[in-house]
Structure 1
Amino acid sequence: MSSRFTAQSPLAGRTASRTRPSMSECDWLFSWTECQMKEIEAKELKRKYKERKQLLENLEQRIKELQKEIEETHELRYNFEMFLKDEEADIAVRRAEREMKALQEKEAKIEELKKEYAEMTERKQELLSQVQIYSVYKDFMEEVLNLTTFEDVDALTGYFESLLHFRDQLYQKENQVQDQVDQQRKALLKLNDQHDLLFLQKNNQLSQLQTELEKTRSEAIIWERKWNHIQETAAKKTLELGQIKMATLNLYELTDGIVGPEGVAINDTDKQLEQIKMYINDQNDILKQYQTLLRRSADGDKQEKTKNKRKKAKNNQ
Structure 2
Amino acid sequence: EEGYLCPFIHLQEKKKQAREMQKALEEKEEDFKERMKDISCRWRDLHAKEAELKIYMKKSERILKESDKMLIQALDKASKEKTMQKEAELWRAKKELEALRNKHQRLFNRVQRYSTFNRYLEDVVKISQFEEIQGVIWHYKTLERMRKDLLQRQQGHKEMSEQTRVLLGQYTAGKEAEILQYEDELLELQLRFDQAQKDVLLWETCWANIQDTTAKKTQKVGAIKMAILNLFQ
TM-score by length of 1: 0.37
> Which structure shows the bigger proportion of residues in helix conformation?
2
Q: RCO higher in 1 or 2 (8 Å CA, sep ≥ 6)?
A: 1
TM-score of the aligned structures, taking structure 2 as reference length: 0.48
